[in-house]
Structure 1
Amino acid sequence: MIERLKIDDLGVISSAEVEFGPGLSVVTGETGAGKTMVVTALGLLLGARADSGRVRAGADRAVVEGDFALPEPLAARLGDRVREAGGDLDGEVLTLARILSEKGRSRAVAGGRTVPNGVLGELGEHLVSVHGQTEQLTLRQPAAQRALLDRFGGQPLARALDRYQDAYAAWKDSAATLAELTASESERHERIAQLRRALEEIAEVRPEPGEDVALANLSQRLGAHEELRQAAQLAHDALAGGDAEETPCAVDLVEQARRAVDAAASSDSTLTAHQETLADLSYRLADAAQELSGYLSDLGEAGEADIEQIEGRRARLASLRVYGETADEVLAYEERAAAELLRLENDDASLEGLAARTEELAAALAEAGAVLRAERERAAAALEEDVAVELAALAMPGARLSVQLDEPGEPGPHGTEGVRIRLQQHAGAQPQDIAKTASGGELSRVMLALEVVIGEVDPVPTFVFDEVDAGVGGRAAVEIGRRLARLARHSQVLVVTHLPQVAAWADAHINVVKATGEETGHNAPISGVERLDDAQRAAELARMLAGQDESEVALAHARELIASAREEMSSW
């Protein structure tokens, strides 16, 4: 459930913050006030495409932020995904945000951390179901029609679908392996021969980990052996002295300096620091001379190595580069090749058993598919009846929804049959594809009818309807309000509406108010958002009824609508 929505500089809304509660909340306002910006803001939080044109004129960015209260176990499931992306929940509350730059850039935030926008889309699928003119187009898609039926089928259908999908995954994997083995026997045997040759060549050379690098370094040292020896010897002699005793060296000179300062330090304590410095320097020079002596010794031993032998070994290692650029890569290839060879050599023995196993899995899949189809047939019949009642109440008395299952075909990830929802617009008419038959207004009412009946079986936390009442009025408008209120018994419902008959059913009424540029001091109108009390609700409904919020007749009618709706809801 969404608890709080904050909007800054989005469309005509300069700054607004509104708190939502459970039940039905309606959003109203005069034409052009920006009430659809509430839906737009929610869409941005749920990963909708960013449009820099939504940034309010004169602002450098728009910011939308929302707090969502998550029931268990949804909090645990979505919390794991948020933490995986680097964010976290505040208890059982998830905060999402979206920042749009006027230059076209956008940033998504989940749980306090910047995340890819796709993460908002993943989370949004579990948080909010949005229905507007664009979203209604999903009802035309076969996959969406199947998903609606499966949601209505409840736990029995969900369990049947899980069993089917497990059986499908096992059969698909086994069948794919069997096809791979039987379709390319000659290629398999050729691959076996290729792997054997490769393993024999590697075994003949037998490289060691890191051997090529070590030999390259040794070859480089041997190539510059005399230069390295001379440089190291010169450095050693400069530090510790050479064969000629009269040659001055750094160790002796520093030691002389240290002794001189030691002798003088008894007379001047300020020389103590110099004593320590010279002593440390003497030790370090002696250590460096010792290390250079060791280097010369090692260099002498390396000089005895056979350069031809080394280069010959390097050439043998280079012959294996077809399997890897380095000795380590060649050894890794050897390990993979051995594993693949073992699998391929065992395939002949397992082929017959795999074929038998695949047949068993196919039989299990067919059985699971039959159970799934039976559950869908049961759900389809019930859905048709329940939706017919809702459509009659929504000013479509002769309309019926027809849920048809195609004949079983090849197994797929969601079953062996497709699902098609058709609409019979009036008695005596033939059911037609809903994509070709229903108008936008009819699609709105069909979607509402579906969500009302499905919401009682499989509710989502929040539904958002953007002018679902477009193109209707009178008694049909009252029934739309009644159905939205019924849906709000199971889920939070937010509705953008222009009909007072719908707004009267609200538990909370949000009004988007437009101020003129003269009132705000801005060049363009700016809208604000406020939550109305009972008196303000009546005035807003009166405006919606008659265009006059101070008309006593309109006010009386508005109060009557609100009282009538409250009285009926209290009996539910």
Structure 2
Amino acid sequence: MLEELRITGLGVIEDTILPLSAGMNVITGETGAGKTMVVTGLGLLFGGRADAGRVRADPGRAVVEGRLRLVEPAATAVHTRIADAGGEVDDDGSVLLSRAVTAEGRSRAHVGGRSMPIAMLSEVGDQVVAVHGQSDQLRLLRPAEQRAALDRFAGPEHEKLLETLREAYAQWRRVCDDLADRRRNARERNQEADLLRLGLDEITRVDPQPGEDEELKAEAQRLEHAEGLRTAAQTAQQCVAGGAEPTDETPDATALLGLARRTLEAQAGVDRVLGDLSARLEEAATLVGDVAAELSAYLAGLDADPARLQTVYERRAALRALTRKYADDVDGVIAWADRARTRLSDLDTSDELLDELDRERQRLAGQVAELAARLSAARREAAGRFADQVTVELAGLAMPHARIELAVLPRPAGRGEPTVTVDGVETAVGPDGADEVELRLMAHPGAPSLPLQRGASGGELSRVMLAIEVVFAGSGGPPTLVFDEVDAGVGGQAAVEIGRRLARLARSHQVLVVTHLPQVAAFADRHLVVAKDTGGAVTTSGVRVVEDTDRARELARMLAGLPDSDLGIAHAEELLAVAARERRP
């Protein structure tokens, strides 16, 4: 849950702290006091779009900070993601989040004490909070959103089936596009393939080997300077191991090291230091002997053959001809050849390949059709359950005769989308299946079943939205739910029922409600009031928690606009008592 929210420099809010509790939190206040800024701040904190026009001129920077404490199952996934990104979770399991926006529109985010991309706040927000407002009601009117809502309700197995369909659909469309492109651009493909084959033939004739150009360069240098190398190696060998005709006047290094070692060894019994030095000379003699052997092998392998040098020159010329055309070095030429072979397979327009692709296209089309049929059946089953549960909730929201229907219909063909045959009917299909989903409302018995956007008033739409959220809450979802005046256009008994349903949600979720209805506010576990101060040169707002008498005065203000009216306070206290009884399990 979100334990605390601090907002600075946002709209009319100069600097305020909202202490939030588990259960149901309501936020009330006069029109224009800044209730909407609280929801705006929540949106910013969880990665929403920043509007620089909301930033107060003084100090020219808006900051929203929040302390988030999670419980399982959300805690592990969120904490792991934050730790992977370099953030830190406090010892008590809470995480600090912050978002800063300047008047120039620049934005920065911090998660767990570390600077993070704004997208990280969005990732956290997707898992811990769901915000519902008037815009969400409008979004619910879109058929695609209604289908997505049904898919979420259907459960994890349904989601797996949907993901399988999406993968099969993507593979099917790739094969279809590949086949169409090969047929449509056969001439261009054949011309490109001919050029690639010419290059591959030339490279194949030369047959370059990895690193061959560098090896030939080194060999050419040795052959060109063979005499100088031979002289240097012979001289060094004579110095360390003696030549073919050694003389007493020029003793070699091996002999001198041997003499030195034996001389010291003879005195090792007198002084152990000379014995240690004698051992080290023996190691040096061994090393010099190894060098002498390697010099001998080097001389034996040193080649001064002019014919070999000419062969090396010719081979290097052939490799340079390739590097001038295809890459900077031999390894690059080999890589070009590998890419060319891969590209040739992509350019293939042979009848055999086209027939094979066509068979694969038909196989995948059948797979997509079969998965789409299974998905349609699953949606129809889930639609019945979903509609029944939402209808039950509407009965408790002062719409006892209303009924929700969720129609799952085949997507009509002929709109430019690919088609498959599903249950014997040619149907347009997309990555989400072959269905159109339409949420309908029958306002009362005998009334026509109309699409939600045509059959529901503003107040009815608010109640349908809340009923859907109550149904979703039974299946889990984010631990924190925010409702921004979803009770607009509602009053009387319906308002009491909305408060009761929100209180029920608060048993399993943290609920934040921005409301203008006292019937809803009375059900809160914590009541916060946004108060406007116009005493200074600039209007500002702050937030305070109200309890007991102050809470009754606020409800009296909401009821009749008279916070000091004895009759209004008495009515408010009665409303609080009723709500307290209703909140008991």
TM-score normalized by the length of structure 1: 0.73
Deviations 1:126-164 (A, max 9, x none): 222111222322112222111111122234533443444
2:144 equivalent to 1:157: no
1:484 to 1:335, Cα distance in 2 relative to 1, 3 A: same
Q: State the AA in 1 paired with 2:390.
A: V
Deviation of the 1:514 alpha carbon: 2.3
Q: Contact 1:24/1:506 (CA < 8 Å) preserved in 2?
A: yes
1:333 alignment counterpart: 336
The one of 482, 489, 501 equivalent to 2:507 is 489
2:543 equivalent to 1:529: yes
Counterpart mapping for 1:114-125 below 5 A: 114-125=115-126
Deviation of the 1:116 alpha carbon: 2.9
Q: Contact 1:212/1:314 (CA < 8 Å) preserved in 2?
A: no
1:567 alignment counterpart: 581
Q: State the AA in 2 paired with 1:367.
A: E
2:374 alignment counterpart: 371
CA distance in structure 1 between the partners assigned to 2:454 and 2:202 by the alignment? 67
2:113 alignment counterpart: 112
1:56 alignment counterpart: 56
Counterpart mapping for 1:80-479 below 5 A: 80-83=80-83, 85-90=85-90, 92-169=93-170, 171-172=172-173, 190-204=191-205, 317=320, 320-324=323-327, 327-341=330-344, 359-407=362-410, 409-479=427-497
Q: Contact 2:8/2:14 (CA < 8 Å) preserved in 1?
A: yes
5+ residue gaps, structure 1, are: 218-303
5+ residue gaps, structure 2, are: 219-305, 412-426
Deviation of the 1:372 alpha carbon: 1.7
Q: State the AA in 1 paired with 2:529.
A: N
CA distance in structure 2 between the partners assigned to 1:426 and 1:200 by the alignment? 80
CA distance in structure 1 between the partners assigned to 2:550 and 2:571 by the alignment? 14
Deviation of the 1:505 alpha carbon: 0.8
Q: Contact 1:504/1:565 (CA < 8 Å) preserved in 2?
A: yes
Q: State the AA in 2 paired with 1:548.
A: L
Q: State the AA in 1 paired with 2:109.
A: A
Q: Contact 1:22/1:492 (CA < 8 Å) preserved in 2?
A: yes
CA distance in structure 1 between the partners assigned to 2:533 and 2:479 by the alignment? 34
CA distance in structure 1 between the partners assigned to 2:9 and 2:346 by the alignment? 62
Deviations 1:417-437 (A, max 9, x none): 121223344544433333455
CA distance in structure 2 between the partners assigned to 1:134 and 1:216 by the alignment? 72
Q: Contact 1:459/1:490 (CA < 8 Å) preserved in 2?
A: no
Q: Secondary structure at the match of 2:130?
A: strand
Counterpart mapping for 1:31-70 below 5 A: 31-70=31-70
Deviation of the 1:569 alpha carbon: 2.0
CA distance in structure 2 between the partners assigned to 1:458 and 1:176 by the alignment? 40
Deviations 1:285-314 (A, max 9, x none): xxxxxxxxxxxxxxxxxxx9x99x989967
Q: Secondary structure at the match of 2:579?
A: helix
CA distance in structure 2 between the partners assigned to 1:321 and 1:537 by the alignment? 85
CA distance in structure 2 between the partners assigned to 1:340 and 1:74 by the alignment? 47
CA distance in structure 1 between the partners assigned to 2:379 and 2:531 by the alignment? 47
Q: State the AA in 2 paired with 1:337.
A: A
Segment of structure 1 superposing worse, 185-194 or 450-459: 185-194
Q: Contact 1:3/1:21 (CA < 8 Å) preserved in 2?
A: yes
Deviations 1:159-199 (A, max 9, x none): 44344445445545555566566666666655544332222
Q: Contact 1:47/1:124 (CA < 8 Å) preserved in 2?
A: yes
Q: Secondary structure at the match of 1:32?
A: coil
Q: Secondary structure at the match of 1:134?
A: helix
Deviation of the 1:451 alpha carbon: 0.9
Q: Secondary structure at the match of 1:493?
A: strand
Q: Percent identity?
A: 49
CA distance in structure 2 between the partners assigned to 1:356 and 1:31 by the alignment? 66
1:233 alignment counterpart: none
Q: Contact 1:405/1:418 (CA < 8 Å) preserved in 2?
A: yes
The one of 552, 563, 577 equivalent to 1:538 is 552
2:285 alignment counterpart: none
CA distance in structure 1 between the partners assigned to 2:195 and 2:393 by the alignment? 68
Q: State the AA in 1 paired with 2:565.
A: S
CA distance in structure 2 between the partners assigned to 1:216 and 1:434 by the alignment? 79
Q: Contact 2:208/2:319 (CA < 8 Å) preserved in 1?
A: no
Output the aligned Cα RMSD.
Answer: 3.9
1:322 to 1:55, Cα distance in 2 relative to 1, 3 A: same
1:257 alignment counterpart: none
Q: State the AA in 1 paired with 2:368.
A: L
Q: Contact 2:383/2:407 (CA < 8 Å) preserved in 1?
A: yes
Deviation of the 1:481 alpha carbon: 0.7
The one of 505, 512, 522 equivalent to 2:523 is 505
1:244 alignment counterpart: none
2:22 alignment counterpart: 22
1:96 to 1:343, Cα distance in 2 relative to 1, 3 A: same
CA distance in structure 1 between the partners assigned to 2:382 and 2:526 by the alignment? 34
TM-score normalized by the length of structure 2: 0.72
Deviations 1:428-466 (A, max 9, x none): 443333345545444322211211122222432221111
Q: Secondary structure at the match of 1:517?
A: coil
1:211 to 1:567, Cα distance in 2 relative to 1, 3 A: same
Q: Contact 2:319/2:330 (CA < 8 Å) preserved in 1?
A: no
Q: State the AA in 1 paired with 2:564.
A: E
CA distance in structure 2 between the partners assigned to 1:65 and 1:436 by the alignment? 41
Deviations 1:513-562 (A, max 9, x none): 223334xxxx2132222223334322321222232333332222222212
Q: State the AA in 2 paired with 1:538.
A: A
1:178 to 1:75, Cα distance in 2 relative to 1, 3 A: farther
Q: State the AA in 2 paired with 1:143.
A: A
CA distance in structure 2 between the partners assigned to 1:314 and 1:142 by the alignment? 68
Segment of structure 1 superposing worse, 464-473 or 551-560: 551-560
CA distance in structure 2 between the partners assigned to 1:208 and 1:500 by the alignment? 84
Deviation of the 1:411 alpha carbon: 3.1
2:12 equivalent to 1:12: yes
Segment of structure 1 superposing worse, 103-112 or 426-435: 426-435
Aligned length: 486
